[in-house]
Amino acid sequence: MKLKKFISLALLSLFVFNIQAQEGYELWLDYKKIQDTTVKKKYASFLNNIELIGNSSTIQAIKDELQLARTGFEFENSDPSGNSKLIIGIQSNLPSSLKSQIDTENLGNEGYTITSLNNKETIVISGNSDVALLYGTFGLLREMQQKNDISNLNIEEKPKIQKRVLNHWDNLDRTVERGYAGFSIWDWHLLPELIKPEYKDYARANAAIGINGTVLTNVNSNALILTPHYIEKVKALAEVFRPYGIQVYLTARFSAPIELGDLDTADPLDEDVKKWWKNIADEIYSEIPDFGGFLVKADSEGQPGPFQYDRTHVDGANMLAEAVAPYDGIIMWRAFVYSEEDPDDRAKQAYDQFIPYDGKFADNVLVQVKNGAIDFQPREPFHPMFGAMPDTPLMMEFQITQEYLGFSSHLVFLPKLYEEVLDEDTFSDGENSPVAKVIDGTNSNKKLTGIAGVANIGTEKNWTGHPFGQANWYGFGRLAWDPYMDSKDIAKEWLKINFSNEENFVKPMTDLLIESREAVVNYMTPLGLHHIMATSHHYGPGPWVDDLGRPEWNPVYYHKADKNGIGFDRTSSGSDALSQYAKPIEEKYSSPETTPEKYLLWFHHLAWEYEMKNGKTLWDNIALHYQTGVEQVEEMQATWEEMEPYVNEREFEKTSMLLEIQLKEAKWWRDACLSYFQQFSNMELPEGVPEPEHNLEYYKSIERPFAPGINPSW
Ligand code: BDP
């Protein structure tokens, strides 16, 4: 009886494990059985003979991870053949025969080396801290997951950016603002007692891609998170994350001193206010000694801030910076600001507000700037602040969650978008001053550097909803570690780890991922169009919306379509936002002829008949781009259909169904936008673009009352 029960339990857990793996829960830590026996033997000979030097919770984490890998790869029962050995230890602890052969001097605290020595019979993972060893271990496992040759390794890796953080827009009631993968993974109600296994798996997944910080709470913040009741919960999470080198951060609501009932002002220059924040910092650090600091959204979209007291961003940021400075904490002060009273082009406002304060922020402040000046659009020119504040460390903010890119129903490979932004030349330090050099500190030799990604994670079994949403989390981490990485290489890496390293899979799927970003731009906002999504939830098209409280909330503000043409004139004859860029860009973009066509309508208002480089009119080009977007999704579908042999059934089915939705919605975008714009252009659709299936009124009438991701407090 007992045995029977045991067997059925064992079978059940095997089943659950299998289903979990099929659902994608394991992320990129799914150590799949290695089929090729030669490869298997080779890898196993190292992983079955490990010398791990040290003694800490991080060393324990390394040990656990290697064990998981050995089990997953099915090495446990293979012979420890030959003399192969894997040695993992910080450089100063290595046996003296190896020490002289491993140089970690320039690797800082997080960099690592993986080196083949002793006639290639020994692999040594080394660095200057236990966390570096953890990164190195993940580095070696990544090689194995891709089935790479490990016979002569000489890897040296060091992160180029210091603070590599996820921003969770998670509320204390577990809703997630702009979250499309279920509820928040932080179960505040049951913390600190209940430590879910997901917390550790989250830490493992992040450490594996080099993420070293997480902001647990929404930028539209709730002051309660700063109370002892919640700090105890935050502490519990910090303890799970610590061995994995991940610091926790919180969002600080600027008016907290008032809201928590202690003071009647939040004026940053008031002595009591300063003291209040210092006390809060003291309390937090006494519980969480490696607490990272605060992320602040102030004086933006209704959030409280220093302006109310006639103070500046610098006053606000520096006051908080002083409170955390004794503990090496930092303040990430967001530059996503625009004023409801300012009639000026929204794209100009953050620059105008911040540039005068260059060099005035305290040393432990990072100004966190979104990649573009409007808001996480499918495509935006880089934010003009990058390169315009040589004496202020600017932190990049990317969005991993797809607020404006089809939520978690559309397959869009975002590393391609990130790469485009990071590569753009700011000309801030002469030619070849890409955004990447601004944020990694190369330009102006910045001492503090950072990059943030707004997370796409939730309680869905596979964390991200869309199976391919995982690639965006993965890719963000890889680019945060090395912002010069090629997005194509990231795509390949992820595909091999996640599915298969067979060329017939990797090649077409890499092309699909890379193309997917251009597809979404084409079927949503081609040629520089932007912010024409439906109101509030931003799902689906809404170019006709013109009745919202603030002008810059309305799509008509951004496309400015009328019978004379379409586009936002940001040259000197318009809002002159262009002048915020360096001279070479300003000059090049001031004429539509020399503006890259992908940004055309971002900077210019042009007649529908305007002739473009291909000799066709602007109207024809707009229509053809929408059509191309639809066709690209059709191609994605066709490619995916061929991939069935390489992926598990559940992910195959799910992705197929999601691509079907994506295709339907790409057509919806095309038809709705073209019907709307056609009223102004009064021109026929060019050949190859079908007539919309419905009339404009139909598209206008579509509502999505319960679209996810909306903050319930709005
Ligand atoms: C916008 C989102 C809003 C965020 C805001 C922000 O629509 O939900 O609160 O950005 O970044 O993209 O603060």
The pLDDT tens digits of the residues spanning 39-86 come to 999 999 999 999 999 999 999 999 999 999 999 999 987 766 678 999
Is the CB of 336 inside a 6 Å radius of any atom of ligand 1?
yes
Q: Judge whether residue 596 has pLDDT over 50.
A: yes
CA distance 606 to 394: 34
Phi-psi group of 108: left, alpha or beta (phi > 0 → left; psi -120 to 50 → alpha; rest → beta)? left
- How far, in Å, are 164, 195, 239 from residue 327 at the CA level? 19, 27, 17
Instruction: Using the atom order of ligand 1, give the atom closest to the CA of residue 218.
Output: 9
Residue 201: its H or E element: helix 197-208
Instruction: Using the atom order of ligand 1, give the atom closest to the CA of residue 404.
Output: 12
**Per-residue pLDDT, 1:** 46
SS3 category, 587: helix
**Given the residues 157, 403, 493, 671, the one annotated as active site:** 403
Q: Judge whether residue 7 has pLDDT over 60.
A: no
Q: The tokens 């992705």 sit on which residue?
A: 655
Contact 367, 335 (CB under 8 A): yes
Contact 267, 309 (CB under 8 A): yes
Annotation marks residue 576 as catalytic:
no
Annotation marks residue 684 as catalytic:
no
For residue 699, the tally of other CB atoms under 10 A from its CB is 23
pLDDT digit string, tens, across residues 240-297: 999 999 999 999 999 999 999 899 999 999 999 999 999 999 999 999 999 999 999 9
117, 119, 120, 122: CA torsion to nearest 10 = -50
Instruction: Using the atom order of ligand 1, give the atom closest to the CA of residue 399.
Output: 12
For residue 584, the tally of other CB atoms under 10 A from its CB is 13
pLDDT digit string, tens, across residues 651-686: 999 999 999 999 999 999 999 999 999 999 999 999
**Per-residue pLDDT, 76:** 83
Q: Judge whether residue 486 has pLDDT over 70.
A: yes
Instruction: Using the atom order of ligand 1, give the atom closest to the CA of residue 177.
Output: 8
Is the CB of 338 inside a 6 Å radius of any atom of ligand 1?
no
Nearest alpha carbon, ligand 1 atom 12: 375
Q: Judge whether residue 9 has pLDDT over 60.
A: no
Q: The tokens 């550097």 sit on which residue?
A: 449
Contact 22, 650 (CB under 8 A): yes
**Per-residue pLDDT, 177:** 98
**The Cα angle at residue 154 between residues 150 and 160, in degrees rounded to 5:** 115
Nearest alpha carbon, ligand 1 atom 2: 178
pLDDT digit string, tens, across residues 687-700: 999 999 999 999 99
CA distance 174 to 186: 7
Distance from residue 52's CA to the centre of ligand 1 (Å) = 45
Is the CB of 397 inside a 6 Å radius of any atom of ligand 1?
no
Q: Judge whether residue 11 has pLDDT over 60.
A: no
Q: Provide CB contacts within 8 A for 93, sequence distance 6+.
A: 53, 54
Q: The tokens 């020490």 sit on which residue?
A: 99
Residues making up the chain, counted from first to last: 714
Nearest alpha carbon, ligand 1 atom 10: 375
Biggest alpha carbon–alpha carbon distance for the chain? 85
**What is the chain's mean pLDDT, rounded?**
95
SS3 category, 369: strand
**Per-residue pLDDT, 22:** 77
Q: Judge whether residue 12 has pLDDT over 60.
A: no
DSSP state of 606: B
DSSP state of 541: B
* Between 339 and 273, residue with greater pLDDT: 273
Q: Provide CB contacts within 8 A for 446, sequence distance 6+.
A: 393
Nearest alpha carbon, ligand 1 atom 1: 375
Question: Tokens for 158?
Answer: 């060091």
Annotation marks residue 375 as catalytic:
yes
Mean pLDDT (whole number) for 553-580: 97
For residue 51, the tally of other CB atoms under 10 A from its CB is 13
* Between 1 and 554, residue with greater pLDDT: 554
